[in-house]
Structure 1
Amino acid sequence: MKTETITLPGDVPGNAIELRVLRFEGGDANAPTAYLQSSLHGGELPGQAALHFLVPLLEKAKAEGRIAGDITIVPQANPIASNQWQAYQHLGRFELFTQTNFNRAFPLLPDFDTSGLLDIDAPVPLAERLKATLLRLALPHEIVLDLHCDDQSENYLYIHQDFLADMLDLAAALGSKAILSWDSTADAAFEEACAYPVLQLSADARDMKRRAVTTVEFRGLADVDFETGWSDAQGLYRFLVHRGVVRDDGETLSASFDGPVTPLSHVEMVRAPQGGMVLYHVVPGDEVREGDSLVTIVTRPGDASGDVTLTAPQTGRILTRRSLRYVRRGDDLLKLLGSRLSAVAKRPGALEA
């Protein structure tokens, strides 16, 4: 393994960030290549734990001459977000200066030519230069896995509908419980920016069986421990072997994905109509029927007449919920995977800010 450090100058003198890039050189020029990154939102650590345990597996494979395709790993993809703290709370989802989600507004390139992307010392804000740098690292690879996590959640994937048929193997390898399929690039998340050049190719030129581009949601923020980190690392390794990036005769993908595949338009984002204390009736993984109680918001403690109970707008599966138990009016509370179009009008793009 070779370690490279990319230093990006900060926006004021005396400040800079460093990206640690781990590279495994493959021995087969015809093998697919892979890029894996984690912690684009700074404090989302389940993917970082998975990569921590994956690296030794790849080092062993490298020592034994079993790395077929080049592999690039960026375990801490966003030092800006990692360093954003206020009043003892980590705030890594939004860039503090602009309030922009770090996983939005990536450049959408018409092809795989990255020469026009911003240089690391271009006269633009650091967050923009970081996005260009990550995209420059990722786009040369056919497999791009952006490892995230939700708040309290099952393990699930976001996959563009054109990649879906050929990526069920990833869901099986990772033990994913659900897939959310999408077809819009309205918000230009990292996954979208990596998929975009592929989608500009003609159907016969895409070679989708070699490609995989996705956002992996490794459960919730608190799901960081030895057991889950090791299990997720094994899932990633199993997928890389299955795709031919790594050779390992002792590793096979025997499971299949049998969870729901839900278009974003069928996801019910249940939001708080009023602020208050949250009492959940459900946990991620629960199957509910239309009309079942999901959450009660206590608006006047000690006066039950102020309780507001929200019910399931349709039959489906609870995928995620918020860990906060005190919310504002309009806050997201949970995601419900439905089997029909959501009755709530949605703008194109991401489910959440």
Structure 2
Amino acid sequence: MTKARTSKLTIGELAAGQVLDIPLFTFKGRDSSAPSVYVQANVHGAEVQGNAVIFQLMTLLEEHDILGDIVFAPLANPLGINQKSGEFTLGRFDPITGVNWNREYLDHKLDIATWFREHQHLPDAELFTAFQLTLVESCHQKLQQPWGITTGHRLAVNLQTLAHQADIVLDLHTGPKSCKHLYCPEYDMASAKYFSIPYSLIIPNSFGGAMDEAAFCPWWQLVEYATSQGRELTNPVAAFTLELASQERIDMQDALKDAQGILAYLSHRGVIKEQVLPAVMPRYACYLKDYKKFHAPQSGMVEYCASVGEQLPRGETLVNILRVDLYGTEKALMPISLEQDCVPILHFASASVHQGTELYKVMTNVFELT
């Protein structure tokens, strides 16, 4: 039985002087040539299901022959996790700056052309090692800059430093009221079929601040530039965001299913020796440009009529908006529908909304992954 080694990562200090640590669990692989893995969860305070998935996955790994190193960082944001208001966990935005905790990662803004010219003499493996060291050193420089950085940025860059040392990066999240879905880079679309997740959003090579993009975008940019210079490279880094249904929820049996899906992917990549087959299930996708947000056309009390994860034909009711103050008029209860077929993926948690509130995110132009 393989057991994880435990350690801690210090990510900051509280005003009263207490040190903020997060727990790390490391499974040491026996084959240095196998891919290494970094998995984190709970960067948003209310998004706790990823911790259950990590628990189940670590339990499964104890019975497997582990080839590549695997580092787990559950409870990755203690500030967000402890950001409570009554029975609710807020924890999505840094309360000091208002910035989304998952939009604080470092955009290295490397001069890829210059870097490539200076290192193009290296064989592929050495080139990749040098680039990885460049990314890690960029994070270290950010953490040590003399003017300092914000609390949220410090947390994110510390986590990003761990991610840049891995070949595979998995960031575990949930939605407000959501079905399971996967953010998958376009160059790695074939990998979506290994996870136990029915819907995938195919994302382009552009940095929006999230962990998956922070991990894969620099490498994608390097590979694309090398190709433009006549050198064919295979992108050595894979990064995905797994959205594991709804927040403020722990479901251990459901977590086991997702852990088995991750295990199937790790088996496919050669991180473990044993063959683990992916779940047999239909899987669908759309490109990120076809992932649409629907905002409340008026304020009121909302009945969310469309079920997440189920196709909604055009013209069928998405929401009903109740305006009790307009009782006796035709505007007291307003059904709202969309003009195209879609699959609702998530919706806002509250039934009380302002005009302009983001009510639903839906996939359009959906296609089946084969």
TM range (shorter): 0.7 to 0.9
Alignment of 1:5-24 (within 5 A): 5-10=8-13, 12-24=15-27
Decide which of 181, 185, 203 is 1:160's aligned counterpart. Answer: 185
TM-score, with length taken from structure 1: 0.86
Contact 2:38 2:72 (8 Å CA) reproduced: yes
Residue 150, structure 1, aligned to residue 153, structure 2: no
Secondary structure of the equivalent of 1:115? helix
- In 2, Cα distance between equivalents of 1:186 and 1:308: 38
Decide which of 115, 123, 135 is 2:137's aligned counterpart. Answer: 115
Taking structure 1 as reference, are residues 35 and 205 closer, same or farther at Cα in structure 2, changes over 3 Å only? farther
Residue 60, structure 1, aligned to residue 60, structure 2: no
Decide which of 140, 154, 159 is 1:129's aligned counterpart. Answer: 154
- In 1, Cα distance between equivalents of 2:211 and 2:278: 27
1:187 Cα shift?
2.5
Paired AA for residue 39 in structure 1: N
Contact 1:106 1:131 (8 Å CA) reproduced: yes
Residue 218, structure 1, aligned to residue 244, structure 2: yes
1:243 Cα shift?
1.4
Secondary structure of the equivalent of 1:19? strand
1:308 Cα shift?
2.5
Paired AA for residue 143 in structure 1: I
- Equivalent residues, number: 329
Secondary structure of the equivalent of 2:171? strand
TM-score, with length taken from structure 2: 0.82
Deviation per CA, 1:59-103: give whole Å up to 9, x if none. 233xxxx11001011011111111212344311110001100001
- In 1, Cα distance between equivalents of 2:55 and 2:160: 22
- In 1, Cα distance between equivalents of 2:144 and 2:323: 49
**Higher CA-based Rg:** 2
- In 1, Cα distance between equivalents of 2:343 and 2:16: 50
Deviation per CA, 1:210-235: give whole Å up to 9, x if none. 64211110111155212112222222
- In 1, Cα distance between equivalents of 2:237 and 2:137: 22
Percent of aligned pairs sharing the same letter:
27
1:137 Cα shift?
0.4
1:161 Cα shift?
1.6
- In 2, Cα distance between equivalents of 1:9 and 1:261: 38
Contact 2:181 2:198 (8 Å CA) reproduced: yes
Structure 2 gaps, min length 5: 111-130, 225-230
Taking structure 1 as reference, are residues 276 and 286 closer, same or farther at Cα in structure 2, changes over 3 Å only? same
Decide which of 265, 268, 272 is 1:242's aligned counterpart. Answer: 268
Decide which of 202, 213, 220 is 2:223's aligned counterpart. Answer: 202
Taking structure 1 as reference, are residues 6 and 55 closer, same or farther at Cα in structure 2, changes over 3 Å only? same
Q: What is the aligned partner in structure 1 of residue 50 from structure 2?
A: 47
Instruction: Considering fraction of residues, name the structure with more helix.
Output: 2
Contact 2:53 2:256 (8 Å CA) reproduced: yes
Paired AA for residue 154 in structure 2: R
Q: What is the aligned partner in structure 2 of residue 350 from structure 1?
A: none
Taking structure 1 as reference, are residues 3 and 332 closer, same or farther at Cα in structure 2, changes over 3 Å only? same
- In 2, Cα distance between equivalents of 1:280 and 1:226: 27
- In 2, Cα distance between equivalents of 1:224 and 1:205: 44
Deviation per CA, 1:316-339: give whole Å up to 9, x if none. 212222231111111111122111
Q: Which runs of 4+ in 1 moved over 4 A?
A: 203-206
Structure 1 gaps, min length 5: 341-353
- In 2, Cα distance between equivalents of 1:236 and 1:206: 26
Aligned CA-pair RMSD: 2.2
